[in-house]
Structure formats: C-alpha cells, structure tokens
Amino acid sequence: MAMASRSSRAAGARVLAFLTVSVLVSPTLSQTCPQLDGIVTTAVQTALRREIALAAGLLRIFFHDCLPNGCDASVYLKGSGSEQSMGPNRTLQPRALQLIEDIRAKVHAACGPTVSCADISTLATRAAVVFSGGPTYAVPRGVLDSLTPAPQNAVNGLPAPSTTSVSALARAFSDKGLRDLADLVALSGAHTVGRAACGFFSDRAANGDAFGNRLAANCTRNPNLRQNLDVVTPDLFDNGYYRALVASQGVFTSDMVLIRDASTAAIVRQFANSKDAFFTQFAKSMAKLATAPRPGGNVGEIRRSCFSRNARTAIETAVDVAGDEGFSASA
C-alpha cells in the first residue's frame, strides 16, 4: 500500500506538472495586451516627473533581479526567506518596487492577468532609461514570474560597491553570459543616475585621494547625505559617469577599479569621449542581461500580485487530492 501511495503521488505530481505547464507556460501571454507599452511608459514617465530618483531605483532592482537567477521577478516576492530580506536587497527602493506593482494593477485591469511582473519590470526599466535621456533597446516578452526566490548564495554573490578588482566584478557578470568586459563597463554606467548613502562608499571616502577626502568631509558634516553617483550630470542618463571616472571622481570603489585596471580603462575612456559609443554598448548589454538564462528555464506563473505567489487553483488542489487519495484507491 505504501508503494502504491508513493506511485499515486508521483502520478498526481506528473499530472499537476503537465497541467501547470500547459496553463502557465505560454510565450504569447505578454503579447495579448496591445496597450501594454503605453500603460507602462505613461506610468513611468508620470512617476519620474514627480521623483526622478525612481529611475535609479528601477535600474538597481532590475540588476538585482536578473544577476542572481535571470530576470524572473523573484526579487519582488516578499515574506520570510524572500530576496528582499537578504543583505544586498534590504536597501532596494520601496517606492520603485511599489511602482511595478501599481503598473501591474493597471495592466491587468486593462488586459486581464496576461502580462507578468517580470515583463513589466523589464519594460519599466527601459522606459526609465529612455525618459532619463538614455537609449532604447530590445527586451523579451512572455517571461514568467518565478515561483520561488533565488538562492541566498546567488543573491549574496551580487557585486558590492566595495569590490576592489575587475576580475571579481567580471565573474558576477560572466555567469549570466555577459563575458565581454565591455558589458561590465557599460552596465556599470547605470550609475550615471542615482544616489547612495554614506555607508555604501565609506571605504572609498577613506582612500586618501582628494575626492575621497571630499566625500569623507561631506559625510562628516551630514551623515544622512545622499551622494550623487555621477558628479557631472547626476539626473541625466549620459556619459558623465565615465568623465567623472577619468577625473578620479568615482564614488564607489567598484567604479574606480574600472579606470585603474588596464583591462577596462580604455573602454572607460572610450565611453567618456563618446556618448554614442556608450549608448550603443549599453543597449546591447541590457538586451543580453534581459535574456540572462534561468536555471530551470521559463517556468512559473503570471502573478496577480508582484509581491506574492498566486493562490492555488482549483485544478492544482484537485490533482493533489487525486494524487493522495483517488489514485491510490484505484491502485
């Protein structure tokens, strides 16, 4: 009887898997909402007109979602054991997270639950880049939302602002198919918008150079300071970040290693001299990041809330019951 029960549960699990995949995994789901781009773009532009800092918030969330396990919206899940409870993500911008959920509600109100939070996050990040002055780029559609958070070791592997070597930064990117150092340098250019609290660059402030001393003095005067990461054009998506690096005015240690390491310094200088070169590479690199491989493939669901998994469906419950009782009774 125990063997029959195990066999029936396995059969039930196979049926559940078939039903779940047949219901959830459809590459055309995100293509059934013709209003999608307009809803996302309008919502992002409206939000950024009120608070331009949301652009950096959306970019940071996108990177923290994609680098650990692919762009699967796992970073939006809340609760015990969620990615938001893990060290690198505890300072993600709550208003930017909420903006994606607000957009999801608008999209689902217009089109029904046909578009994933993963797709909305990707589209909203692109809209924020473009609104801030940056380039557009291709993004995938039909990406499903993950059922679980990314593993903690993957999240903890996100590159930190205090990273002191290009090789350490490159490893975090190469694991997602971004093996060209130009990808690393271009995606670091997202720091052309955004601000950071003093704790994120205290190691840089203690470096001893003139700019580091200035950072330290500013934080001493105002410990609650939010330092612009691009000291040239802080609210504009352009190549000012690279011009600052050439002038030894990078805020993070992980920024400064790009100009100090011979393997990346020439790329930094190229981008500092040509916004077009930066924009061309950034568009290519963002398109690559948006399609970063997911360990289990495109398996998941379209969440009714970006912050939690969907409630179990009647089909899933019925299959579980059949697996535990009905199938064993017939065995």
64: annotated active-site residue:
yes
Q: What is the dihedral of CA 277, 283, 289, 291, to 10 degrees?
A: -140
Catalytic residue among 64, 126, 204, 275: 64
What residues contact 296, with CB distance under 8 A and at least 6 apart? none
Residues 298, 288: Cα–Cα separation, whole Å: 16
What's 161's DSSP letter? T
What's 76's DSSP letter? G
Residues 250, 104: Cα–Cα separation, whole Å: 36
Lookup: tokens for 269: 């200088």
The residues that bridge with 164 in the sheet, in sequence order, are: none
Residues 144, 93: Cα–Cα separation, whole Å: 23
Length of the chain: 331
Three-state SS annotation for 277-315: HHHHHHHHHHHHHHCCCCCCCCCCECCCECCECCCCCHH
List, by residue number, the catalytic residues. Answer: 64
